[in-house]
Structure formats: structure tokens, C-alpha cells
Structure 1
Amino acid sequence: MLASAYDFHLFDLDGTLVDAEWAYTRGVFDRVGNRLGRRFSDDQARILWHGLTGSRNETLRSWGIDPDAFWDAFHAEEDPRVRAESTYLHPDAERVLAAVEGPTGLVTHCQEFLTGPVLDALDLHDHFDTVVCCTESTGWKPDPTPLELAMDDLDVGPDRARGYYAGDGEGDVGAAWNAGLDAVHVERLGHAERGRCVLGDHRVESFDPLL
């Protein structure tokens, strides 16, 4: 696969283009655990942060945790400034964003109050012609609606142009296919840690093969 073979480009953010330092992630889960009166192990923190089991809400329920209570606590403990300072851009992501031509969008589960500061800190705003942060009203990946909103903003679509969506999770692949796009799965953690192999139209460990 070459990105140049596509007319437009859609990307996920966390785990795909950027990642947060582990110390930040561990600290957030320590504080969330204090709010909920329980402790999250390192494995549990990684599973939820990266969505390793697919649906985070189903995982929370299987651990006896109410998802609404968890997300309320989680968002209350995420500090936009500290999150931005603790987030780094993968070098291969920087290369692909500099190289792609044509309409380019970002579709992320990362909430707007966090996404903006991260893009500011990493000087990424100019790389995207549209940014869609998923909400209850847009739906959550693998629902295609967030991707369709981005395509509407870009005035593109699978019926008019060839595009792909690149992400690190199963939901990203599902959203791409449900929206009629090619799916690029970026496996940054390795199959062993994920515990499964995620299929996609293209499977890469970095964006360099797209160049």
C-alpha cells in the first residue's frame, strides 16, 4: 500500500499518531482508582488505555465497574495541559503526515478538551483539514458516523474518491469498513500484548510502508 494511491486520508490519534508517556497513564489510573475506591493493575490500565479487549465498556462491566462512573472519574482526572506535555508524536507518523497530499482528517475518541491541547503542543493542527472528536451524539467507533462526518467536512466519500482510515484498534478497522473505506491497522504494541491479531486491508507496525 502507498498513501499516494489514495485521494484522501483519515487518521485516529491516540495509539496511532501519538502516545502518552506511561507515567502519565499510570498516574491517571491511580487517581481514578482513588475516586472509585479500587486499584487498577498495570495490566488493567494498559488494557483500558489501549482498548486491548475491544469494547472498553464491556471490559469495565466484566470487572464489576459501572462504565458511566468510570468515565466521569477518568475525564475529571485528565488534565489537558499535563496530557499535552506527556504526549509524543511517533516519528513515522510525523513522516507520513508530512508526505500525504489531499484532504486529510482526524477522527478520534479523545475528547475535544484534550485533543486541542495535544494538537497545539505537537504543532499538528495544520496537518488536518477537519477534526472530529467522538461523542454520544456522533456515536463511537466502529459506528461509521464520525468518519462520515469527517468526510462530509472534507467533501469526499467512497462513492467519489478512494480513501482509508488508519487506526490501532479493532473499532478503527470496523469503522473504516462500515464507512466504505480501506482499513489500515497500525499495530504499535505487538500481537502478543494485544492477545490477538487484528485484521485490516493493510496491517503495518509503522507508517513507513505507506511511504
Structure 2
Amino acid sequence: MSSSVSYRALLFDLDGTLAETDSLHLPTWVEVLAPRGIEVDEAFYKENISGKSSADIVRDLLPNLSDEEGRSIFEAKEASFRERAGELEPLPGLLDFLRETKGRGLATGLVTNAPGENVEAILPALKLQDFFDTIVLSDETEAVKPDPAPYNEALKRLGVSPEEALAFEDSVSGITSAVDAGIPTVGVASTQEPGRLSEAGVFVVVEDFTDPGLLALIRG
């Protein structure tokens, strides 16, 4: 893993990229979908839920619900998730990597489909509440991942071109969003098979942030 590019900004997804959150998201989806006759196991979760916004998940799985009914389901799910957020820990190597990033003067952005309330719960649990220069939430753009709009907004806010940014994503949906925005993307294989991330368009896959090649990327 090497790079001759001098990056100016690093852009991070939240769920599955900064922390392993599926172990909390999966049981909360089980809770709210089981009464509706939908069984959620790990395979179903990876195929139908991972990387998508809660609103889109409910809309896709329960298309006959009214907007109000759908909202009540995903709001209950997210409230249950936030109650457990204190259990979260950053992915291995993340904090050291972010300290190196800041020490080199790179700008940082968080680009997530998660609700703002979730971000407010997760970042303090990971001790990252003061780290990001900008945070792009799902309700702040005209479309959510896999659309490139969230990443385009992050680039605009930080004043960098796509080639000057590096994105970190763990899901096909997120990778599609970043790659379609023209941003070189690192796949974090915390929730999906490495091959699937490569097929989605990343230029390299890492298991977590202990991979020494990541420091080589930002050191140029």
C-alpha cells in the first residue's frame, strides 16, 4: 500500500468504520421487526440493512406502512440503540491513527447516514466528540448514501477536491457514495467480506486501523 498523493482531508463513515456497531444494531432491528413478521439474522442484516439509513430500511422492508408508522418504528429502534451506545469501543488502532492525522494537519470529516442523536451518543463513547472538523448528517443533504451527495457536501465544507480527500467506509452503500463522488476510498473489513468491498470500488482493504499501510498513505 503506497501513495504519491498528498491528501488534505480524511473522511470517515461512522457505523462499522469507527466502531463495530452491528452487535448493537442487529438486536435492535430484531426487536422492532419481529412483531412485523420479519426475521433478522446476520446474513439478512448484511444484505438488507448494513450501510442504509433507518428510514430507507423501513421503507424497503415494510413498504405498506404510512410515513408516520414507519417513523415510529425506526425511531424506537434508534432509541434502543442509543441506550446501548456506551458499550461501544473504537476499532483497533483508530485513536492512534486519528492522532497522527491531526498531528499532520489534515482536515477531518464524518459522513454518516446515522441520525444526529446517534452521533451525539456514539462520539462521546469513543472519545471523539471534539475530533471532526465537519459532520455531515443524513438529513442535511438532498439524498443519503449510496448517493454521492453526503460526500460532495463534505468536500464542499472542507474546501478540498475529491482527489485531495481519502474516505474510509465499511459498507457497499458507503463505498458507492464515496467512489461516485470521485474520492479514493479505503475499505474497512469490519462488517463485510474484503472481496465484496473491493468489488464495490475501494483501492485497498484493511481489517482495522492498525494496518501500517494507512500511515504510509497519509505520510505521502
TM bucket, shorter chain: 0.7 to 0.9
1:110 is paired with a residue whose SS is coil
Aligned to 2:27: 27
Structure number with the higher strand fraction is 1
1:17 is paired with a residue whose SS is coil
Aligned to 2:165: 163
1:39-58 aligned at under 5 Å gives the runs 39-51=39-51
Aligned to 1:82: 83
Structure 2 residue 208 is the aligned partner of structure 1 residue 206: yes
Q: Would you say the 8 A contact 2:188–2:205 is kept in 1? A: yes
Aligned to 2:218: none
| Superposition CA RMSD, Å | 3.3
Structure 2: distance between partners of 1:136 and 1:72:
21
1:125 is paired with a residue whose SS is coil
In structure 2, the CA distance between the partners of 1:127 and 1:113, relative to structure 1 (3 Å rule), is same
In structure 2, the CA distance between the partners of 1:151 and 1:88, relative to structure 1 (3 Å rule), is same
In structure 2, the CA distance between the partners of 1:57 and 1:88, relative to structure 1 (3 Å rule), is same
How far apart are 1:47 and its partner, in Å?
3.6
In structure 2, the CA distance between the partners of 1:71 and 1:83, relative to structure 1 (3 Å rule), is farther
In structure 2, the CA distance between the partners of 1:14 and 1:21, relative to structure 1 (3 Å rule), is closer
How far apart are 1:57 and its partner, in Å?
5.2
How far apart are 1:182 and its partner, in Å?
0.8
Greater shift, 130-139 or 97-106, is seen at: 130-139
Unpaired segments ≥5 residues, structure 1: none
Structure 2: distance between partners of 1:27 and 1:190:
18
TM-score for the superposition, normalised by structure 1: 0.78
| Count of aligned pairs | 203
List structure 1 segments (4+ residues) > 4 angstroms apart after TM superposition. 1-4, 56-61, 67-72, 192-197
Structure 2: distance between partners of 1:196 and 1:153:
28
Greater shift, 136-145 or 103-112, is seen at: 136-145
Greater shift, 143-152 or 28-37, is seen at: 28-37
In structure 2, the CA distance between the partners of 1:188 and 1:27, relative to structure 1 (3 Å rule), is closer
How far apart are 1:71 and its partner, in Å?
6.1
Aligned to 1:153: 157
Identity %: 29
Unpaired segments ≥5 residues, structure 2: 216-220
